[in-house]
Amino acid sequence: MMAAAATCAFFPTGNPPSDSGAKSSGNLGGGSVPGSIDARGLNNVKKPAFGSLQAKANAQAPPKVNGTKVGVMDGFKTDDEVISSHHPRTFINQLPDWSMLLAAITTIFLAAEKQWMMLDWKPKRPDMLVDPFGLGKIVEDGFIFRQNFSIRSYEIGADRTASIETMMNHLQETALNHVKSAGLMHGGFGSTPEMSKRNLIWVVTKMQVVVDRYPTWGDVVQVDTWVAASGKNGMRRDWLIRDSTTGDVLMRASSQWVMMNKETRRLSKIPDEARAEIEGYFVDSPPVIDDDSRKLPKLDETTADYTRTGLTPRWSDLDVNQHVNNVKYIGWILESAPMQILEGCELAAMTLEYRRECRRDSVLQSLTSVLDKEVGVDLTNFGNVECQHVLRLENGGEVVKGRTEWRPKLINGIGSLGGFPA
């Protein structure tokens, strides 16, 4: 259709010959008059059609006798006759400028080729993303949401592996995209339509994470997430992160969520209408991590080994619900971890209990206690290191309590770790 339109633009249709026209004759006194001459003897010259290559040359005015115009003489040929005698009218004579025609055809075919390549796009290398836009999809009969992520250069740390904050951000992103893909997101940060009517939002109360291996720059990870019921007024969300190439499990995470009123900031029961929206997506399966029910001890300035004070949220730390993003708490907790652990170990497991939200004007303290203070210098002589953490407001209110487990980073089979205070 595009080619036909372009052809019509460059090959205009000529006007049909007039039925009143007669055969031309060179006789002035009698017989029929040439079609290009009117009754007064005036030349009735046609304007050349658009795109014609012929041009009238040596145009002359009709001769005059005593100031009166007369017809053409015998043997004088009209323009049409001159054209016909020298160059018979053919299809080639009516063609436009070849350069313009070729340019139009080339443009049409290039545009068509570009559209075809976009429709027929396929990964050219096995390590390229199957999902080029990272939008994710729902699999397993609609119960599991799956999304791929490529580890960027700005998401890795000093050891050239993805940071724990990067991995936690991937968990949060897939959770929200799961709700969005299911068509349940409405006017809030993961809120369903019935939740939005009642000003309800989801808040996390507990998070457990186990990391088997951290991906490196350029790796592509596949994140699966699903939801399940948790008690009468809660919901559990689990994640499983794999290496998209090998299928090896890199990380497992399980979390507990409850509803909170956005205006009063108080916890709320799940309304029956909201439960009806989400329970159809619940998976009847055990959590990917066994629940760590060990009680977290209380820490203060007297029992903590390391303290970091004066931590304040930045504007960029707030989410759309106007409280600090829960991933930010992890960075604040690690602010008080001893440098020997941060440099010589990697985070292997983590349990966090969220007690209250942190707002924009909050000022916090980060407290850390190392449980095994008799760790030797040689990392090969001991197992993992366990720490306890508390993130609290300056007035003493606890925001997050946590437990972390660390394993040594082995460099040539041996690591180094300094001692801890007694």
Please report which helix (H) or strand (E) contains residue 386, including its range. strand 385-393
Catalytic residue list contains 358: yes
Contacts of 86 (CB under 8 A, 6+ apart): none
The C-alpha torsion from 253 through 241 and 342 to 157, rounded to 10°, is -140
Considering only CA atoms, give the Rg of the chain. Answer: 41
Quick one: 251 exposed, middle or buried, by C-beta within 10 A (0-12, 13-18, 19+)?
buried
Q: What are phi and psi of 168, to 5 degrees?
A: -70, -35
Q: Out of 323, 326, 345, 387, pick the active-site residue.
A: 323
Catalytic residue list contains 321: yes
Quick one: 182 exposed, middle or buried, by C-beta within 10 A (0-12, 13-18, 19+)?
middle
Catalytic residue list contains 323: yes
Which long-range CB contacts under 8 A does 171-177 form with residues at least 24 apart? 171/223, 171/225, 171/239, 171/253, 172/325, 172/326, 172/327, 173/147, 173/149, 174/136, 174/145, 174/147, 174/223, 174/225, 174/239, 175/225, 175/237, 177/135, 177/136, 177/145, 177/147
Rounded distance, CA 141 to CA 75, Å? 91
Rounded distance, CA 358 to CA 398, Å? 10
Q: Out of 177, 358, 387, 389, pick the active-site residue.
A: 358
Please report which helix (H) or strand (E) contains residue 414, including its range. none
Neighbours of 419 (CB within 10 A): 11
H helical segments located in 285-398? 326-334, 339-344
Rounded distance, CA 404 to CA 345, Å? 12
Q: Out of 43, 148, 321, 326, pick the active-site residue.
A: 321
Rounded distance, CA 156 to CA 106, Å? 47
List, by residue number, the catalytic residues. Answer: 321, 323, 358
